[in-house]
């Protein structure tokens, strides 16, 4: 009885159809058929040779035999040639690819089982499972998804928070500032405005502050800045704080930086959220802050998550000493799509003015945020407008 994870009849029918009409190679390529989708080694090698010969328009049985040399199997070739070609090739290719993915899934499950018994490490098990799942989900038509320019529908980049502080969707952004400037206040209000504007689900991990302090700030913003009811955000804004142990999403292992298994658990936990705000970046990094390769690997990890699962991901990052410029490796800035720098507003004598406002500079804009922001530098109110003495007390709590 034939194993349920392969079907030699389907394989022979596909190969026979191609040999009968070599132009069907194009159809198979468009669907995404690969040599490894065949189970029988001879069928894998035969399809590979047919693809090569098709490029030179010389798909011929004798030439195939010559090209395959010692890998050629006369009996197997006869079985292919004696199978009737099929009209609906797509159906057979789809079935073959499904079986191929199931075989891959079986290999992954065996690897997970081995990991469980060999290491007894849950995080490593989750990591293998998640990486395997990603490889199955992304095992599509080709290494590069090439499309004719004429078939592509042009679209501008999409943004969220367009009315106050725009951030690109399906991308990673960075908000940088020095200490005590009010980054958390800024992003709490940004999150609330995103909910008001687009009714999205937002998760914020303000890992340096107790959740009670974040709640206090949230209520202050709602009452004294937005003049709205806190109930408007129930079920839409969730927060974690300093009571949750921070996670390093990259970790050193055998002198090599690896993705931590907890990253995949974290992704699964945040499935329902459209916007994810993480503060500060460095608390969750795990690599060398000044190493560009480490920084790029970290941001790319989140960029792929944002692209594949349609997330807007925003990191709050510390600035260099006494500036709003991003601290550490330049790749943190290079790898994201947008960077805002937040600064205190000062007069010509260097004295702080307009205490309730902050100057926000659009320092990097790959996707066109300026269209919605209005300028490269804007002022935004992030604190209630109060007497300076009272404000100093509030800022001291930041």
The three-class DSSP label of residue 10 is helix
CA atoms within 13 A on the CB side of 203: 16
Cα 329 to Cα 289: distance, rounded to the nearest angstrom: 6
The two three-digit tokens of residue 215, written as one number: 């709640």
The radius of gyration of the chain's CA atoms, rounded to the nearest angstrom, is: 28
| C-alpha dihedral (294, 296, 302, 303), degrees to nearest 10 | -170
Q: For residue 377, what is the enclosing H or E element?
A: strand 377-381
Asked if 345 and 352 count as a contact pair (C-beta separation under 8 A), the reply is yes
State the pairing for strand pair 377-381/312-318. Answer: unpaired
Report the CATH superfamily, name and number, of domain 159-396. Answer: P-loop containing nucleotide triphosphate hydrolases (3.40.50.300)
As a residue count, the chain comes to: 398
Q: Is 24 helix (H, G, I), strand (E, B) or coil?
A: helix
Domain coordinates in residue numbering, the chain: 1-144, 159-396
Q: How far apart are the first and last CA of the chain?
A: 70
Q: Tell me, letter by letter, the H, E, C secondary structure of 71-99.
A: HCCHHHHHHHHCCCCCCCHHHHHHHHHHH
Distance (Å) of CA 321 to CA 41, 207, 336 = 61, 21, 22
Collapsed DSSP state (helix, strand, coil) of residue 175: strand
**116 alpha carbon, distance to own chain's centre:** 27
Residue bearing tokens 């389907």: 10
Integer Cα distance of 177 and 154 in angstroms: 35
Let me know: does 79 contact 11? Beta carbons within 8 Å.
no
Residue 159: name the closest of 379, 369, 12, 376 by CA: 369
Q: Which two tokens stand for residue 89?
A: 């090739």
- Decide whether 1-144 matches 159-396 in CATH topology: no
pTM: predicted TM-score of the whole model, two decimal places: 0.69
Q: Which fold has domain 1-144?
A: DNAb Helicase; Chain A (1.10.860)
Using CB atoms within 10 Å of the CB of residue 131, give its burial: 0 to 12 exposed, 13 to 18 middle, 19+ buried: middle
How many CB atoms neighbour CB 34 within 10 A? 18
Q: Is the bond into 48 cis (omega within 30 degrees of 0)?
A: no
Query: Which residue from 160, 210, 209 is spatially nearest to 182, judged by alpha carbons?
Result: 209
User: Which of 392, 381, 391, 385 lies closest to 164, judged by CA?
Assistant: 381
Q: Is 224 helix (H, G, I), strand (E, B) or coil?
A: helix
CA atoms of 352 and 271, how far apart (whole Å): 42
Q: What pLDDT was estimated at residue 397?
A: 53
**DSSP string computed for 284-353:** GT-S-TT-HHHHHHHHHHHHHHHHHHT-EEEEEEEBSTTSSSBPS-THHHHHSSEEEEEE--B-TTS-B-
SS3 letters across 98-151: HHHHHHHHHHHHHHHHHHHHHHCCHHHHHHHHHHHHHHHHCCCCCCCCCCCHHH
Please list the pLDDT of the chain residue by residue as tens digits (398 residues). 346 789 999 999 999 999 988 888 888 988 889 999 999 999 999 999 998 888 777 778 888 988 899 999 999 999 999 999 998 899 999 999 999 888 888 887 777 777 666 666 666 666 666 666 666 555 544 456 667 888 888 989 999 999 999 999 999 999 999 888 999 999 999 999 999 999 999 999 999 999 999 999 999 999 999 999 999 999 999 999 999 988 899 887 767 788 887 888 898 899 999 999 999 999 999 899 999 999 999 999 999 999 989 999 999 998 877 777 888 889 999 999 999 999 999 999 989 999 999 999 999 999 999 999 999 999 999 999 875 555 555 555 55
């Amino acid at each position: 009885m034939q194993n349920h994870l392969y079907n030699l009849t389907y394989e022979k029918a596909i190969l026979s159809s191609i040999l009968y009409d070599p132009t069907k190679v194009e159809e198979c390529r468009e669907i995404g058929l690969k040599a490894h989708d065949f189970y029988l080694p001879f069928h894998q090698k035969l399809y590979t040779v047919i693809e090569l010969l098709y490029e030179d328009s010389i798909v011929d049985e004798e030439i195939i035999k010559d090209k395959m040399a010692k890998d050629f199997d006369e009996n197997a070739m006869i079985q292919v040639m004696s199978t009737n070609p099929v009209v609906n090739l797509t159906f057979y290719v789809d079935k073959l690819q499904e079986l191929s993915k199931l075989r891959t899934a079986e290999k992954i499950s065996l690897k997970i089982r081995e990991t469980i018994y060999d290491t007894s490490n849950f995080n490593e098990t989750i990591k293998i499972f998640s990486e395997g799942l990603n490889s199955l989900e992304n095992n599509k038509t080709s290494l590069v998804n090439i499309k004719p320019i004429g078939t592509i529908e042009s679209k501008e980049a999409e943004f969220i928070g367009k009315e106050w502080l725009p951030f690109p969707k399906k991308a990673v952004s960075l908000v940088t500032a020095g200490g005590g400037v009010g980054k958390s206040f800024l992003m709490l209000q940004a999150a609330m405005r995103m909910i008001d504007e687009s009714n999205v689900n937002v998760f914020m991990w303000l890992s340096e502050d107790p959740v009670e302090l974040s709640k206090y700030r949230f209520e202050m913003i709602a009452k004294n800045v937005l003049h709205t009811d806190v109930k408007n955000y129930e079920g839409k804004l969730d927060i974690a704080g300093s009571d949750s142990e921070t996670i390093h999403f990259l970790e050193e292992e055998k002198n090599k930086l690896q993705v931590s298994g907890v990253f995949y658990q974290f992704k699964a936990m945040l499935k329902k959220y459209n916007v994810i705000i993480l503060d500060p970046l460095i608390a969750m990094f795990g690599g060398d802050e000044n190493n560009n390769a480490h920084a790029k690997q970290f941001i790319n990890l989140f960029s792929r998550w944002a692209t594949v699962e349609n997330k807007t991901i925003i990191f709050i990052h510390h600035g260099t000493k006494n500036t709003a410029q991003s601290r550490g490796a330049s790749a943190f800035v290079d790898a994201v799509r947008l960077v805002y720098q937040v600064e205190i507003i000062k007069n010509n004598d260097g004295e702080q003015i307009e205490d309730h406002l902050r100057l926000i500079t659009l320092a990097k804009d790959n996707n066109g945020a300026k269209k919605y922001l209005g300028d490269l530098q804007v002022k935004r109110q992030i604190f209630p407008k109060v007497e300076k003495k009272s404000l100093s007390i509030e800022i001291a709590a930041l």
